Every structure is written in C-alpha cells, then in structure tokens.
Amino acid sequence: MDQLNEKELEQISGGNDTVSTFTYEVVPGDSLSAIAMRFGTTVATLMALNKDRITNPDVIKVGWKLRVPVNTKKSGWM
C-alpha cells in the first residue's frame, strides 16, 4: 500500500497505524459508490486509497485495480 498522510490515515483507519487492503478490479457497470457500498466503505476512503488513479469520483475505468480496505465488520465480502 502506498503511504498516506496522517490525516488520510486517521480518517480511514480510525486511529489505527495501518490499513489492510485488498485489490479489486473494476468491471463493466461498476461505480465508485457501488464498490464502496459493496465492501462497506465510503467513496472518500476509496479516493484516498487510490489518489494516484482516481481524481474524479464519477470516472473509473474497467480494468483499473483499486485498493479497497478490508472491512472486518462485514463478513462474506468476497
């Protein structure tokens, strides 16, 4: 995972030192909000974790590999 600044890490991790992520490949019909809802996270978190790729939350491309935080509170995410 790329390094996040302290403010981004605090927002994503809730104060934990690390954020566990997995890679998700964008498929036809995906939107950032649908991906966030599917994996129990937020669009803002996805944007922060993928700031090297996503500059507009309305524009993602099929085949992009996005970092998604592991949501330990939601089971059966894969």
Tens of pLDDT, residues 11-59? 555 555 577 899 999 999 999 999 999 999 999 999 999 999 999 999 9
Residue 45 has a pLDDT of 92
The span from the CA of 54 to the CA of 67, in Å, is 11
The pLDDT assigned to 71 comes to: 73
69 pLDDT above the threshold of 60: yes
- What pLDDT is stored for residue 8 in this prediction? 54
Predicted local confidence at residue 53, as pLDDT: 93
- Using DSSP's 3-state secondary structure scheme, residue 52 falls into coil
Question: Average pLDDT for residues 56-77, to the nearest whole number?
Answer: 81
